[in-house]
């Protein structure tokens, strides 16, 4: 960073070994200026004192919603709005940017993706802030007494790959163990707690919750649960304890994607989930707080005070590389989705990311027939999947190579007949041979009614849209390699005459 110049950074992870030496030439560019304003979503009046941040040029990948911290003030990619709500971010890098705006009394909001690679001046960037939601609750010890001074974090879960930063809210519990985190943008959050410095050690409990605009959501943390305490030990396939693994459980009868719990195993593989309802739970095993995980089976939790299990994981492994089809170079940070064939259907079985060299690995797999889907998060590659991969009880690791070829870029805008963007609309992209191919984490439109697909295979596709209150739509489109296409879809309300 140098004031007056755009932030410079390496495009891909830098791989070094103990004996390597690398020379890096840094050429600073004057960058691109982005200016416009932040307004109230309800009144459209300008908002003074909002903080606007480019997540792309942020020097940290973990950024609090509150942007008033002294350590953030020197950041070059940060600006504050004036009385007219206007801001200016000078010297942004010539990349793809998403701007985040925050202000006390509002939930955070993000801009559309800004493509500044060609140096064009983006001078009409308006970000609308609406009231946020609140997460509140109490943290208690196992005996029910309040835990004061515990740090509680609510981490926003972005539903696409456009966000370069993890945004979070934070609070300390008071003498009664109570906490409240306000001004949270609507969406899904992971809420966890940890002890204050010098406090007694505790095991962080991770809970996923949905935050809604203008509403308060209560979170139950340790000491508050009623139900069955599920305890046990998790062992690897060779019988050794599986330490420091993230174990997630979700009832098969869960009402939504947010209805799960996560804990981390101890040195001897010990795990404990207090307060579970009697049900059948699927067990997910992973690393990195859910960044890489696989389905490991199901467990029955009875209606009892205590239930103890010993879960020995299976030893199947699918590993390999995701590469550029032309250069054979590894594709870093590609998303891998693994599915298993169960009851004559392909069902979700795990997710992971490639490392800096393009390598991935799915361990602890149960015997069965699998497929692996690969999606690039940078560059314009079409997604690909493997052929069927049988994982048995005695075979060694299945090693696979997935080659990603250049594709097209597609941006889909969904509106109603009045021109209002429709958020959280599910899209299905069907290829010419009838296969529905997922291209992002969940293929739903964002707050601006858009779904940006950075890479899609060339060819004929049908975009199908179905959402409550509107007539379904199916729009055909044909794409060529290297093409950038924008597709607008207008949905007709069911009550509107045709």
What is the per-residue pLDDT across 75-115, written as a single tens digit (0 to 9) for each? 889 999 999 999 999 899 998 888 999 999 999 999 888 88
DSSP for 50-114, written as a single string: -EEEETTT-S-SEEES----GGGTT-TTEEE--TTSEEEEEEE-SSEE-EEEE-TTS--EEPPPE
* pTM of the entire predicted model: 0.64
Segment 177-185 mean pLDDT? 93
pLDDT 10s digits, 265-310: 888 999 988 878 889 998 999 876 567 889 988 999 998 888 999 9
Closest among 174, 221, 65 to 129, alpha carbons compared: 65
Cα angle for residues 491, 494, 495 (degrees, 5° grid): 125
Place of tokens 């314009």: 380
For residues 254 and 206, what is the distance between their CA atoms, to the nearest angstrom? 17
pLDDT category of residue 348 using cuts at 50, 70 and 90: confident
Q: Is a pLDDT exceeding 50 seen at residue 224?
A: no
Q: Is a pLDDT exceeding 80 seen at residue 258?
A: no
pLDDT category of residue 441 using cuts at 50, 70 and 90: low
Place of tokens 């692996």: 372
Q: How high is the pLDDT of residue 199?
A: 55
Closest among 382, 373, 380, 326 to 354, alpha carbons compared: 373
- Mean pLDDT check: name the lowest of 79-83, 203-207, 235-239, 285-289: 203-207
pLDDT category of residue 159 using cuts at 50, 70 and 90: low
Strand partners of residue 100? 53, 110
């Amino acid at each position: 960073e140098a004031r007056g110049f755009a932030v410079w950074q390496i495009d891909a992870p830098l791989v070094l070994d103990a004996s390597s030496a690398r020379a890096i030439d840094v050429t600073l560019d004057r960058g691109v200026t982005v200016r416009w304003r932040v307004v109230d979503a309800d009144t459209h009046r300008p908002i003074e004192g909002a903080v606007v941040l480019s997540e792309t040029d942020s020097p940290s990948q973990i950024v609090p919603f509150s942007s008033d911290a002294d350590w953030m003030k020197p950041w070059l990619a940060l600006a504050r709005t004036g009385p007219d709500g206007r801001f200016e971010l000078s010297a942004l890098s010539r990349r793809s940017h998403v701007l985040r705006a925050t202000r006390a009394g509002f939930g955070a909001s993000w801009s559309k993706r800004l493509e500044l690679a060609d140096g064009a001046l983006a001078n009409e960037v308006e970000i609308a802030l609406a009231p946020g939601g609140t997460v509140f609750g109490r943290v208690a010890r196992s005996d029910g007494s309040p835990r004061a001074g515990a740090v509680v974090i609510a981490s926003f879960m972005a539903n696409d790959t456009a966000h370069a930063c993890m945004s979070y809210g934070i609070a300390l519990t008071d003498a009664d163990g109570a906490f409240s985190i306000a001004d949270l943008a609507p969406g899904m959050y992971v809420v966890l707690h940890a002890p204050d410095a010098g406090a007694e050690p505790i095991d962080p409990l991770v809970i996923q919750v949905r935050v809604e605009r203008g509403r308060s959501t209560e979170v139950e943390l340790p000491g508050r649960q009623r139900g069955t305490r599920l305890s046990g030990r998790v062992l690897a396939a060779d019988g050794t304890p599986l330490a420091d693994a993230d174990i997630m459980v979700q009832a098969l009868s869960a009402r939504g994607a947010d209805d799960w719990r996560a804990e981390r195993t101890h040195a001897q593989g010990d795990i404990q989930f207090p307060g579970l309802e009697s049900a059948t739970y699927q067990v997910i095993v992973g690393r990195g707080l859910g960044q890489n995980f696989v389905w490991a089976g199901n467990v029955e939790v009875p209606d009892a005070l205590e239930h103890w299990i010993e879960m020995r994981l299976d030893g199947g492994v699918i590993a390999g590389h995701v590469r550029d089809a032309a250069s054979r170079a590894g594709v870093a940070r590609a998303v891998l989705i693994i599915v298993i064939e169960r009851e004559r259907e392909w069902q979700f079985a795990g997710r992971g990311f490639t490392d800096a060299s393009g390598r991935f690995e799915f361990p602890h797999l149960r015997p069965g027939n699998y497929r692996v889907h690969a999606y690039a998060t940078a560059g314009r590659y079409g997604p690909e999947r493997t052929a069927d991969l049988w994982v048995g009880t005695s075979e060694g690791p299945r090693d696979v190579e997935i080659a990603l070829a250049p594709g097209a870029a597609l941006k889909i805008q969904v509106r109603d007949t009045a021109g209002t963007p429709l958020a959280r609309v599910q899209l299905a992209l069907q290829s010419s041979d009838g296969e529905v191919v997922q291209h992002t984490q969940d293929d739903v439109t964002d707050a601006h009614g858009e779904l940006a697909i950075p890479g899609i295979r060339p060819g004929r596709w049908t975009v199908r849209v179905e959402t409550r209150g509107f007539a379904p739509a199916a729009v055909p489109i044909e794409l060529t390699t290297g093409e950038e296409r924008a597709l607008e879809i207008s949905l007709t309300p069911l009550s509107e005459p045709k």
